[in-house]
Structure 1
Amino acid sequence: MPHTNDVGIPSRQAPEPVGYIGLGNMGAPMATRLLEWSGGLVVCDVRDDAVAPFLDKGARVGTPAELAASCSVVSVTVLDDAQVREVVAGPEGLLVNARDGLVIAVHSTIADSTAVELAQLCAERGVGFVDAPVSGGAPGAADGNLATMVGASEADFEVVKPTFELWAGLVVHAGAPGAGTRMKLARNLLHFVSFTATAEAARLAEAAGLSVADLGNVVRHTDAITGGAGAIMYRDTAEPVEPGDFWEGVFGHVRGLGEKDLTLALGLGGRLGVDLPLAAHSLTGLGDALGVGPGPLATEYEENHR
């Protein structure tokens, strides 16, 4: 049973078993890392072939009810909101037989409202709920180097963090339940919007007689050095930069480089007959996005395209 230390955070005398439900492309490599957990691992999946490798390595298998009764933390990686609801609160779900102090951690990307709703439902039963979606894909899962964004109370975060660190290279406490999902949605917005921009860049490169694959190699190489879009996310706010702020000079410099390069790319696209709507939008919006307002090249472009 958990006890409370002098700062009010639950802790345990010795590691207890942890559980994992959902052993698919992401769940299986994450659960594999938990085989290192000294308290033991209990797994659950509807497919016998998914469970078998874990039994061979010393894990136990159980139903959701059995995991809820015996484990301190149960991680869940299933397909969608409906499956998460079924696993957590369904007639044969975790809450049916949940032990005192259990913390349920959902790694599926679900609606933030679902996370908040389930957290409230769990709290009524004396169970902790954590939404902890992950980023890094199958390669990150295989390497044990995922990023996880955790929505949890302080107490529940302290309970799950040691297990998460076995499969994650970065564990961020985003805030209360629901916050982890909101951060994942913001992260994925950037991810998929960038795919549309990538297609635009690829069309320009191809029209210029260049290899799209070679361009991709350059992008991956340089993003690994510069940090890509994350390189401008050092401020604590997205509000405009105050005059005289340190970032005014930094982002003013970035704006100047960006507006110059976007102007040149739009010129190339015009000569090749390639429409670049995202480039045009970025040229006129880059300065505001950086918080320093448009520069002269963006202003000139807007004036010429009214």
Structure 2
Amino acid sequence: MPEEAIGERWAQTLGEYETHLARERDLSEHSVRAYLVDLRSLAVHAARLGIDDPARLDLRALRSWLANLKTRGAARTTLQRRSTAARVFTAWLARTRRAEHDAGALLASPKAHRELPPALSQDDIRAVIDAIEVDEDDPVSLRDLAIVELLYATGIRVGELVGADVDDVDLERRVVRVFGKGRKERAVPYGAPAGAALDEWVRRGRPQLATAQSGPALFLGVRGGRIDPRAVRRVVHDRLGAVEGVADLGPHGLRHTAATHLLEGGADLRSVQEILGHASLGTTQIYTHVSNERLRAAYRQAHPRA
């Protein structure tokens, strides 16, 4: 969407907001880009209403924007995301005195339909890990096993795994330090199988791939640099797809699976929230629905009068 379509004042303010998101909030490039796409949509709509300055935004204009998006068939999740982007933006305008009041303070978000995240069974996970043939002379096999084990053991995000350095792993205490959304730091424990796979990778596999460009990165690509998120996703998809009957859920599916198995094993919701790095307990609560649904399915299958 060209900046000429939104006017000079909008373009200037969005440029300043982009700097704020990247430098002060330390958001990823992807997150910054997503915010700006949503806000440029708002800017174009506001310009059509004759609002050439973000400082002149009001609640009516914001609601008109969302209503227009809904009329054009935007999904509830899209509307929810864009209303959130607008509220964060207008709060920043008011806080930095770029606007006299927070136009989005009373803007409500449409409730998004929350589907149960898919998860693998414990037998499926075991089959996937057992199918990874490890060869000490093949560093990629050692790396792939460590990646799958760590993602399942901790439920960390792909970006958190990719950003981890060797010194972030405490092999003795079996804890990995990661930086989540907004660069929030947390320490996540992992079990003995993941610990053994990580130890083999760090001691035997990583030195075979390491180059002068490797730096402190924990996981490396085949050329020796820090592994790319796309490469991690490809590893997981390949390893899941190699086992017949196992759903190819990708890395985020392993995150969902880890959370589900923790709750099924008796972990409390607050602990799972800390492990996953969720800012809100409400985000974690959806996994209780997964466990309850599995319980009901098992009951229907097993009980003679279900």
TM-score by length of 2: 0.27
Larger % of strand: which?
A: 1
TM-score by length of 1: 0.27
